Amino acid sequence: MNSLRNQNTIRESVSVTGFGYWSGLDVTVEFFPAPANYGIRFVRCDLPGQPDLPARIVHRSHSPRRTTICRDGVSVEMIEHIMAALYGLQIDNCKIVVNQSEMPCFDGSSQAFVNALVEAGTQPLDQPRSQLVVNETLRIGDDEHCWIQIEPCDHLKISYHLNYSNQPQIGKQEFEIAIHPDTFVNELGDARTFLLKHEADWLLQQGLGQRVSYQNVLVYGEDGPIDNQLRYSNECVRHKILDVVGDFALSGYEVCGHITASRTGHRLNGELTRRLLKHGQIIDQHAPQFISSLKSA
């Protein structure tokens, strides 16, 4: 466990505009500074009363291939790349105003959000950032194929084992990284979403992803990415770690633990985050607090 750092917000407001992978709708995302202990909240300015949704695991709802939060029938989806950017840059408090349910995809990574947030700058606040500390190994999933665990560590470190043995252009990839702003910006934030050609074709047949091109996502054919170039030889496993960061950001704390995952996705990431909130330990400015039940926002 490290000493508590101070919370941060952004220095000034900034916005990005793009379109959603699934819906194809144009969406604007505006980031605003927020006070200490505000957390990360999405505000739906397109709906009556402009309802807000705290980005906390208690509000997570299941959606295939993406992370969604929902409260009182109002949802915001595809938030994992935004959450990863905020967590990776240690921005703990931010009001995010959006005019659609689905967040924009850009190139399938967190890079557009990272660029905007770096432009906005970071503003330290006068309250410490609470930590969620792992005291025992927690593991869920299939013991052989699809699983994720977290064990004690004094910072957030993530190891991921990716296995696409049936797709030689991806194959087996492994990567391990300690998460802090420098490593996130330089080694993780620009790693892009990927899928196989037959998966992309099926989604298009369902009427999804109609505006998405091969430049918005890595689509693997028999010879590798179609009409695109890799940024890293192991870009796929780096993106899986990016998703893990975004999903665990819904804990609402700075996580201290070593996450190891194999073939996991958003669902298992979310389940382990819930488990950690029940069995982990909060370290704040007052005293350590053991969590006996899932905290709501």
Residues 6+ apart with CB under 8 A from 49: none
Instruction: Assess whether 266 carries a catalytic annotation.
Output: yes
Catalytic residue among 59, 81, 258, 266: 266
Q: In terms of DSSP H, where are the helices of the chain?
A: 80-88, 111-120, 181-187, 197-205, 235-248, 266-279
Residue 219 CA, distance from chain mean position? 21
Residues 6+ apart with CB under 8 A from 79: 42, 55, 67, 68, 69, 103, 246
192 in Cβ contact with 218 (< 8 Å): yes
Q: Which of 45, 41, 22 is nearest to 32 (CA)?
A: 41
Q: Which of 120, 134, 109, 106 is nearest to 31 (CA)?
A: 120
Q: Which of 57, 53, 129, 131 is nearest to 91 (CA)?
A: 129
Main-chain dihedrals φ then ψ at residue 62, nearest 5 degrees: -75, 130
Residue 281 CA, distance from chain mean position? 22
Burial label for 123, CB within 10 Å (0-12, 13-18, 19+), is middle
Residues noted as catalytic: 266
